[in-house]
Amino acid sequence: MNFRHKYVLSIDQGTTTSRAVLFNRQGEIITFSQKAFQQYFPKPGWVEHDPNEIWYTQSSAIKEAMAKADVTDTHIACIGIANQRETTIVWDRETGFPVYNAIVWQDRRTADYCEELKAEGYADYIQQKTGLVIDAYFSATKVKWILDHVKGVRERAERGELCFGTVDSWLIWKLTRGAQFITDITNASRTMLFNINTLQWDQELLDLFTIPSSMMPEVKSSSEVYCETSTPIFKAGIPVSGMAGDQQAALFGQLCLEEGMMKTTYGTGCFMIVNTGEKPVFSQNNLLTTIAWKLGDKVTYALEGSVFVGGAVVQWLRDGIGLIPNAPVTEQMAKSVPDNGGVYFVPALTGLGAPYWDQYARGAIIGITRGTTAAHLTRAALEGICYQVYDVLMAMENDIHAKPKEIRVDGGAIANNFLMQFQADICQCPVVRPRILETTALGAAYLAGLAVNYWKDMDELKEQWSLDTIFTAKMKPETAMALLTDWHKAVGRTMNWAMESEI
């Protein structure tokens, strides 16, 4: 097929925005569109999305991106999908109507149930099957909650009338008008229902969570032609041929294709993943063993540390308390003071993720004095992101018994030079920012393009990666360690803060 003058459309459906990006054969962005959607917080610790709004904003972003580039269906070679992971949607198999809002990965409503599972001794059992720790983060307990708490839903599920899917499954369903009910292996590996050893839905886990197997989508590889679109967005059918959870897509987009290569994405949360090769490495340090991707018959595994609140803390400074007018101003404010003034901000706004996994931690700002300014608070928030990433890095080094040569970074927050320099300082490791920041969307595009031979092979992709900036440590190691000592003291103050009844 002649792909001259053709592009790959990447769907990047995130936690706060739905995005559409068009890439050319050089891996360059032709155009993109981004649409924000509503975040719902029905109770403390609860986070929901409207599945139909996810689809509406995503389809709107696709149409706008195509219009901005003045392209039609005939200019699109294929479509790749990257998506917010773990977020749980249950819908009617016949009508396509959701039975409840999407329960977002950040949601903590099932924390008490997770503690019960741990108390009953299921932690090792679930880790050995899924590579995951027991936590409200993952999809399994969210599905169970919907079945148990939404009137009439369990009965409908047991009659085979309902579908469960993560956001990738929902988008494919909508793109094909219900003709395809599938997921990819990376998203499946984040549900706490998928056995990463047998590469199948695990019936024992489905029984444990009382989820009918009829609700589960078919699991596909990360790069193959799944279907053609059948939606009014496009006049003709376009192959959908790549799919991965957003963090795995970013790892692929960063071309961390060799064992030991790692990246950190700075989005709503922060997610560090290291490629561990063809065999799963089960963490001794509270990290997650996950599937990086499956190409053909070959599965590549990864270790991941998930920080729940990364860029979301900046969003909270802006929208929650009105301390800042916009995100870009945080760099200037942080640089306007020589240090944090003794202030530490632990952004445990939805609990603490790796390596602490404390569902009852809550956010805290510690060390405030009469001399504390808005600039100190802003700097402390940015530093808090970096400290959390450091904690994950240390856990990762202990699991793989090696220090990384570099940390490749991506996500919207990496445009902040203060954040990147402080990350290099506190980790005492080079932080490498690529020229193209949209590596999540790029990874989805690469996976899709490989499946239809838009790109020939991995070697062609490797030639496209290009550097923007390398941030190297300028801080003395003893200074970094002193800051980290106070950080860990601050973290200790936040842990186990909320009573179980408050979740």
Binding residues for ADP: 15, 19, 268, 311, 412, 416
Angle at the Cα of 133 (from 99 to 426), degrees rounded to 5? 115
Cα dihedral 280/283/286/289 (nearest 10): 0
d(CA 254, CA 102): 29
Extract the annotated binding site. Answer: 15-17, 19, 85-86, 137, 246-247, 268, 311, 315, 412, 416
SS (H, E, C) 351-371: EECCCCCECCCCCEEECCCCC
User: DSSP code of 400?
Assistant: H
Tell me if the bond preceding 355 is cis, omega within 30° of 0: yes
Q: SS3 of 497, please?
A: coil
d(CA 485, CA 489): 6
SS (H, E, C) 27-83: CCEEEEEEEECCCECCCCCCCEECHHHHHHHHHHHHHHHHHHHCCCHHHEEEEEEEE
Extract the annotated binding site for sn-glycerol 3-phosphate. Answer: 15, 85-86, 137, 246
- Residue in the block written with tokens 């506190």: 426
- Residue in the block written with tokens 């390398």: 470
For 10, the enclosing helix (H) or strand (E) is strand 7-13
b/e sequence 330-365, b meaning 16+ C-beta within 10 Å: bbebbeebeebbebbbbbbbbbbbbbbbbbbbbbbb
Extract the annotated binding site for glycerol. Answer: 85-86, 137, 246-247
Extract the annotated binding site for ATP. Answer: 15-17, 268, 311, 315, 412
Give me the sign of the Cα torsion angle 187, 188, 191, 195: negative
d(CA 503, CA 500): 6
b/e sequence 474-502, b meaning 16+ C-beta within 10 Å: eeeeeebeebeebbeebbeebbeebeeee
d(CA 108, CA 43): 10
- Residue in the block written with tokens 């890439």: 23
Cβ atoms of residues 241 and 264 within 8 Å: no
Tell me the DSSP string of 260-321.
Answer: T-EEEEESSSEEEEEEEETS----SSSPEEEEEEEETTEEEEEEEEEES-STHHHHIIIIIS
Cα maximum dimension of the chain: 68
Which residues 6+ apart lie within 8 Å of 220 measured at CB? 182, 183, 184, 185, 226, 243
Q: SS3 of 345, please?
A: strand
Side-chain half-sphere of 108: how many Cα atoms within 13 Å?
A: 24
Encoded tokens for 36 = 């924000």
Q: Phi and psi for 240 in degrees, rounded to 5?
A: -100, 115
